Amino acid sequence: MTTPQNGDRRPAPGSNCPGKSTISRRALLAGAGTAAAGVGALAWYGSDEAGWRADTLIAKAPQYDQSLVSRIARGLKELGIGPSQVRGKRVLLKPNLVEPSREAPHINTHPLFVRAVAEVFLTLDAAQVTVGEGQGHIRDSWYVLEQSGLETVLDESRLSFVDLNHDRVFVAKNAGHRMKDRFLYLPQTLRDADWIVSLPKMKTHHWVGATLSMKNLFGVMPGICYGWPKNVLHYNGISKSIHDINATVRPHLAIVDGIVGMDGDGPIMGNPRPAGVIVMGTNLPAVDATCCRLMDIDPWRIPYLRMSSARLGPVFQRHITQRGEAIADCRTRFRLLPESGLLPR
């Protein structure tokens, strides 16, 4: 049985969704998030994207095997991420762990993908690598962990798992200012991490078109505060919530599992879609815009990407330096539902 870093305990009395406080994390909640949002508001997305520029990298990866470690390591090196950036740091890996189904591995970030990323960070001398998730559908996190196949992999790799739905929470000012909420409740584990890494599955989404590295951060929001399936965030608007969570959390890196994705009625009921790629970068809007182009989806039709342009990062292809493989050489059309409103006009 995987040893949870925070056990299976519930927060102590008084720690569940506490009252407003001034707690801030040294990097997570730095003023840069608010400043970037303010600058972006002046430029919107129609011109220079407020000077935002980013690199993303595409690597071909035909299957889930040991070669993933070297492919991911080479990609990080090309992005300028090596031992000097990682040594001694605490790394939190946030996979997309939605449903307890070994029979449909295209739903969740593949367990071998998670293990490969963990191995790379440990090779780069990370002090600690932890896996954390707060799934929104099934309340029993340990059942989802077991049935997804991830628990076995974590046990073999001696990696700890944190149930972010029941972690202790702290209060942070909402740096995105799109939702009506002035404050967000976040798990203590985020504040303790030096590197927050989003590990999403490349999938379509029946409501917002695509669920990638930014949407994956829904899973850091604690269910003890936001319900199942994070009902408060849905009520506030999914795209606004995605924007504000990312503006506040400020994740450091995204590595997207696009080896076998999902199209059609995603993020749960869709079909497996082999794309054979890994996409990574330190700016999540740029990573997601690149993924959309690989999926043959216009990123400007994804509401949260339009909202993030010039505020959280670049979306225009001309503002994203593409490393590794070319988009044109790796593009795979992902089928969309007609009701998504994203079919070509």
CA 135 distance to own-chain centroid: 12
Tens digit of each residue's pLDDT (9 = 90 or more) over 51-79: 999 999 999 999 999 999 999 999 999 99
Distance between CA 327 and CA 177 in Å, rounded?
A: 33
Q: Is residue 13 part of a domain?
A: no
Return the CATH number at 136: 3.40.50
Q: Is residue 201 part of a domain?
A: yes
Q: Of 270, 133, 289, 272, which Cα lies nearest the Cα of 197?
A: 133
Top pLDDT among 138 and 322 is at 322
Residue 134 clears pLDDT 60, i.e. is over it: yes
Number of other residues whose CB lies within 10 A of the CB of residue 301: 18
Q: Among 59-68, 166-175, 223-232, 322-331, where is mean pLDDT lowest? A: 223-232
Residue type, position 154, single letter:
L
Top pLDDT among 280 and 44 is at 280
Q: Is residue 12 part of a domain?
A: no
At residue 290, φ and ψ (nearest 5 deg) are -65, -45
Tens digit of each residue's pLDDT (9 = 90 or more) over 157-212: 999 999 999 999 999 999 999 999 999 999 999 999 999 999 999 999 998 999 99
C-alpha triplet 87, 153, 275: angle, nearest 5°: 85
pLDDT band at 31 (very low <50, low <70, confident <90, very high): very low
pLDDT band at 343 (very low <50, low <70, confident <90, very high): low
Q: Which residues contact 127 (CB under 8 A, 6 or more apart)?
A: 87, 88, 89, 90
Q: In terms of residue numbers, what domain contains 299?
A: 32-340
Residue 130 is predicted with a pLDDT of 98
Q: Is residue 27 part of a domain?
A: no
Q: Is residue 8 part of a domain?
A: no
At residue 210, φ and ψ (nearest 5 deg) are -145, 140
Question: Are 16 and 150 within 8 A, CB to CB?
Answer: no
Residue 141 is predicted with a pLDDT of 84
Residue 144 clears pLDDT 90, i.e. is over it: no
Residue 32 is predicted with a pLDDT of 34
Q: Is residue 25 part of a domain?
A: no
> Token pair of 75, please?
């990609």
Number of other residues whose CB lies within 10 A of the CB of residue 269: 13
Q: Is residue 20 part of a domain?
A: no
Distance between CA 79 and CA 30 in Å, rounded?
A: 23
pLDDT band at 47 (very low <50, low <70, confident <90, very high): confident
Number of domains in the chain: 1
What's the pTM value of the predicted model, to 2 decimals? 0.88
Residue type, position 131, single letter:
V
Q: Is residue 5 part of a domain?
A: no
Residue 342 clears pLDDT 70, i.e. is over it: no
Q: Which helix (H) or strand (E) holds 171?
A: strand 169-173
pLDDT band at 30 (very low <50, low <70, confident <90, very high): very low
